[in-house]
Structure 1
Amino acid sequence: MKKNVFCLITLFAVLFAAVSCDKKDDDEAGQAWKLANEQAFNAIKNNPAYTEFKSPGNEGSIYYKVLRKGTGTKPIFYTSTVKVYSKGWFVADSKERGITNGMMFQKWLAEDGIPATLKVSELLSKNGVTVSFKGIQAALQKMVEGDKWEIWIPYQLGGGKSKASTLTLGFGGASRPPIPAYSTLVFEIEVVEVMQ
């Protein structure tokens, strides 16, 4: 009997140690991911090709580079509906998550078909799930029809401190990796039409 109790205690100790190690590995990988994303975002701050603007509510800065200047005159509001092409990618590597720098987590480009239609305030995904990324919403409101920008969004204005589900944002439904917590998000967005 004592031998069985000892074996059970030993088994639980081994299992607890294994779970604790997994948790520690997850924490270390998460901290490494956060640091790599913060470093990539901070590098953009010093790049003269990018322009900074503060988010509404002054929650953080967003950086953008104009790839093509549009000629539209109709402003984009929080309540506007727009047609866009877009792609988004990661700026760091994570072997644990199977993510590499430059890997796309979302895309909907001209070759994928007609532009995606979305309401800025909701950013509805194709399957009807509502997500709210303040950084994208703020950037769209600075753009006009025809603009094509590369936009860098810190995690505070993107997915935040918790893992986001696979992101489609109305820009296509292909299978993509989930966005880890603390991810700097980079998008290339082209505003094709401001509908209302």
Structure 2
Amino acid sequence: MKRTPFLFIAALLAFVFIACSEIDNSATEYLNWQAANEAHFDSIYNQAKADSATDKTWKILNHWSYNASVATHSYDKVVVKVMKAGTGTAATPFYTDSVRVHLQGRIRPSTSHAEGLVFEQTYVGTFNIATASSAKRAVSAVVPGLQTALLHMRVGDEWMVYVPYQLGFGSAAGSGVVAPATSTKVSIPGHSMLIYRLTLVSFYRAGQKVPGASAKAFGSWVDQ
């Protein structure tokens, strides 16, 4: 009878220890997240800035509403690494267009996600352009940084797009974002830079003739 309090206290302490460990793990997953994300984006931006003069696979794109008189920071831009250049029409999507894309969106690596948590993906498994089905997006409906990239892409372009959190989901945590390939809802911590693998398959410009495209492109999908 005298040992019961001791056993109870020991069990209680073990529970508290486990609970505290779980809290600590959760708290450290995104430790100093804002500063880490700002530094990560700036390192990519500075690499692109240094290498773009001789390496044309790097691009720095001003946000589509960029105003040089007030926008002077790296986070007013997105950084692009060209993986493959498209060979389709020279026309690029407008803000009011719809696009078909292959897309995977990640945040930067964290404790539990060595390659970064995937928050959006339009294909299942390893990407294979020959078998993957594209997804439709309205340019105006995606985050500003992704809008900026799409406005510069030609059909067939495959890009890695690095988006500062200011042109992504901002400082507030996002929730309810779905990764379709797994039907898993994930949450995105505030201040997360976004990393997209993006391929432009086609785009739609209703009621207009697209410069450089065939006659059939009038009010239809441009895919070549």
TM-score calculated relative to the size of structure 2: 0.62
Cα offsets for 1:135-169 (capped at 9, x unmatched): 01111001011011000000000000101124349
Give 1:116's match in structure 2, choosing from 123, 135, 138: 135
Matched-pair contact (CA < 8 Å) for 2:100–2:137: yes
The separation in 2 between residues aligned to 1:167 and 1:188, in whole angstroms, is 17
Name the structure 1 match of 2:34. Answer: 34
RMSD of aligned alpha carbons? 2.6
Shift of residue 38, structure 1, vs aligned partner: 1.1
Helix, strand or coil for the counterpart of 1:121? helix
**Bigger shift: 52-61 or 28-37?**
28-37
Matched, 1:79 2:87: no
Q: Which runs of 5+ in 2 are unaligned?
A: 1-22, 52-56, 206-224
Cα offsets for 1:14-33 (capped at 9, x unmatched): xxxxxxxx9xx96x876601
Cα offsets for 1:51-80 (capped at 9, x unmatched): 211102225010001111012223200011
The separation in 1 between residues aligned to 2:182 and 2:135, in whole angstroms, is 11
Name the structure 2 match of 1:88. Answer: 105
Give 2:121's match in structure 1, choosing from 102, 107, 111: 107
Name the structure 2 match of 1:191. Answer: 200
How many positions carry a matched residue from both structures? 159
Matched-pair contact (CA < 8 Å) for 2:157–2:199: yes
Matched-pair contact (CA < 8 Å) for 2:178–2:184: no
Helix, strand or coil for the counterpart of 1:37? helix
TM-score calculated relative to the size of structure 1: 0.71
Shift of residue 176, structure 1, vs aligned partner: 4.3
Matched, 1:157 2:167: yes
Name the structure 2 match of 1:53. Answer: 61
**Which AA in structure 1 matches 2:106?**
W
RCO higher in structure (CA 8 A, sep ≥6): 1
Matched-pair contact (CA < 8 Å) for 2:97–2:203: yes
Name the structure 1 match of 2:78. Answer: 62
Matched-pair contact (CA < 8 Å) for 1:89–1:105: yes
Matched-pair contact (CA < 8 Å) for 2:172–2:191: yes
**Which AA in structure 2 matches 1:42?**
D
Label 1:34 to 1:92 Cα distance change in 2 as closer, same or farther (>3 A). Answer: farther
